[in-house]
Chains A and B, each alone.
Chain A
Amino acid sequence: MALAHDFDYARPQSMAEVLDLLNTHRDKAKILAGGTDLIVSIKEAMMAPELLIDIKEIPDLGQIHREGEQIVIGAGVTFTQLLEDPLIKSHFPMLWDAAATVASTGIRNRATLAGNICSAVPSLDSAPALLCYEATVHCESKSGLRQIPIHEWFLAPRKTLLQPDELLSKIEMPIPPRNSTGIYLKLGRYNGEDLAQAGWGIWLDTENHYRIAHCALAPIPKRAPEIEALLNGNALSDALIERAAALVESAIKPITDIRSSREYRVHISRVMLKRGLLAARARLQGEEVEPKALLGGFA
């Protein structure tokens, strides 16, 4: 039995071919990378594309590589590839943490980081890391290349700046300084598939600079500038952490949904920020920290 909706399938071998197809078919076409989100959307009739453009055979798109002081992640790179890449583990620990929380192994073997940010759901686990690492999204079309800072990328739930004739070809991030680190805390109801009830990314360095971002707590994933402003320039102390936690409620706009209530999201966010700040500092001091253990551990 086929999916209820029928479509054509193309497996182009070059970027030029992809951009031609997108230019001709525009919003009638969808890019197929991992498919873990797209195929579900087609099955549930949330989307009815006429053409799927499979980009898995385009050379380069499946690679992670370093270009000078930048790391470049191609649109075909899966979460499993991120987890197995030593550069990601050592330089981008917050992204590594986030990749480890995405669904399950069977999904991570297919799902891509690029596909994840194109889906633009509010609970996007990879978003706090990309926001804290100040990623740039590359969108290519026949009319050229647009480089979009990640903090402009998300417009609304399931809406991004990507245009119908564009391919998100790669994501670029500057290699963070050696004296910095980050951590991602995700609260879900169980391991293996659950979307975040709340997610917090925390970045800091030895000179007391802080970057804080969250997901599942507002219509789009966001940095929390008011909390960063309070923390910046100050060493962590119990009093400072309490004052940061007091700002949480004004920094987020959570809703009540099937996964948790608004009130619980506010409460748990304070807990997550406090534990996350301490855990990030412990990491900065060279301690091994397992983020899942900070929130009750494995079920």
Chain B
Amino acid sequence: MKEISINLNFEIRSVWVESSETLLDVLRDKLGVKSPKCGCERGDCGACTVLLDGKPVRSCLILAVEADKHDIITVEGLSADKLSALQEAFIQYNSFQCGFCAPGIILAVTELLQKNPHPSLLEIKESIAGHLCRCTGYTPIFDAILAISKGDK
């Protein structure tokens, strides 16, 4: 076992882990952060996405030890005070049904909007390619993101 410390949602958290534990498992089972979901466990679905040093990554393909001394943000951190404009738009446009894909997509798009506040539909599609949604057919997800990208929120 090794002790690692992660800046998780703006709070330094220390935890003992095995080298072979994934970041996803440690976040969910040892640190109680449940928004990253375990879908495919092999990088294909995007449900386990977190922001690592600001960039969306697949936490099922990262070892917890690799995240030692790095910054991790999940939706719990995004909406600590209140929901972000993007999250509000997801509610307004019914952009999720079961919600399994939503945390990953919201994090990926949050990063996209930071880099590029007014993305085109093509850029939006590119940024969430690799995030599978089995419920919505994606249209309401694009609508919510487009609404944000057209406004100046």
B25 touches A40 (CB 8 A): no
A106 touches B57 (CB 8 A): yes
A35 touches B108 (CB 8 A): no
Return the CB mask of A42-57 against B: 1 if under 8 Å, else 0.
1110000000101010
Return the CB mask of B81-108 against A: 1 if under 8 Å, else 0.
0000000000000000000000010001
Interface bin, chain B: 35 or more
Number of A interface residues at 8 Å Cβ cutoff, please give it.
Answer: 32
Q: Knowing A43-B42, A110-B57, A110-B58 touch, does A52 contact B130 (C-beta < 8 A)? A: no
A107 touches B122 (CB 8 A): no
Q: Which of A2-10, A116-124, A147-155, A267-275 contacts the other chain?
A: A2-10
A39 touches B129 (CB 8 A): no
B108 touches A105 (CB 8 A): yes
Chain A: CB-nearest residue to B44: A193
Q: Is B150 an interface residue (CB 8 A)?
A: no
Cβ 8 A contact of A103, one of B2, B52, B130: B130
Cβ 8 A contact of B20, one of A5, A103, A193: A5
Tell me whether chain B's interface is mostly helix, strand or loop, or mixed.
mixed
Find residues 39-73 in chain B having any chain A CB closer than 8 Å to their own CB. 41-44, 46, 49, 52, 55-58, 60-63, 65-66, 68
Chain A: CB-nearest residue to B26: A2
B20 touches A6 (CB 8 A): yes
Q: Knowing A2-B20, A6-B19, A106-B49 touch, does A191 contact B66 (C-beta < 8 A)? A: no
B125 touches A43 (CB 8 A): no
**Chain B residues within 8 Å of A191, by CB:** 125-126, 129-130
Find residues 111-133 in chain B having any chain A CB closer than 8 Å to their own CB. 122, 125-127, 129-131
Find residues 7-59 in chain A having any chain B CB closer than 8 Å to their own CB. 7-9, 11, 32, 35-36, 39-40, 42-44, 52, 54, 56
Cβ 8 A contact of B130, one of A32, A40, A43, A105: A105
**Chain B residues within 8 Å of A103, by CB:** 43, 130
Q: Is A258 an interface residue (CB 8 A)?
A: no
**Chain A residues within 8 Å of B129, by CB:** 104-105, 191-193
A109 touches B25 (CB 8 A): no
Q: Is B21 an interface residue (CB 8 A)?
A: yes
A6, A11, A36, A110 — most chain B CB neighbours (10 Å): A110
Expressed in whole angstroms, the Cα–Cα distance for A6 and B21 within the complex equals 9
**Chain B residues within 8 Å of A193, by CB:** 43-44, 129-130
**Chain A residues within 8 Å of B127, by CB:** 105
B21, B43, B49 — most chain A CB neighbours (10 Å): B43
Q: Is A239 an interface residue (CB 8 A)?
A: no
Expressed in whole angstroms, the Cα–Cα distance for A193 and B128 within the complex equals 11
**Chain A residues within 8 Å of B131, by CB:** 104, 106, 192
Q: Is A80 an interface residue (CB 8 A)?
A: yes
Expressed in whole angstroms, the Cα–Cα distance for A215 and B134 within the complex equals 31
Chain B: CB-nearest residue to A4: B20
B56 touches A105 (CB 8 A): yes
A106 touches B58 (CB 8 A): yes
Find residues 275-290 in chain A having any chain B CB closer than 8 Å to their own CB. none
Expressed in whole angstroms, the Cα–Cα distance for A54 and B66 within the complex equals 8
Chain B: CB-nearest residue to A104: B130
Cβ 8 A contact of A298, one of B2, B58, B125: B125
List residues of B whose CB falls within 8 A of some A CB. Answer: 2, 18-22, 25, 29, 41-44, 46, 49, 52, 55-58, 60-63, 65-66, 68, 104, 108, 122, 125-127, 129-131
Q: With A11-B68, A39-B61, A192-B131 given, can you name 4 additional A-B contacts, CB distance below 8 Å?
A: A3-B20, A9-B2, A109-B57, A110-B58
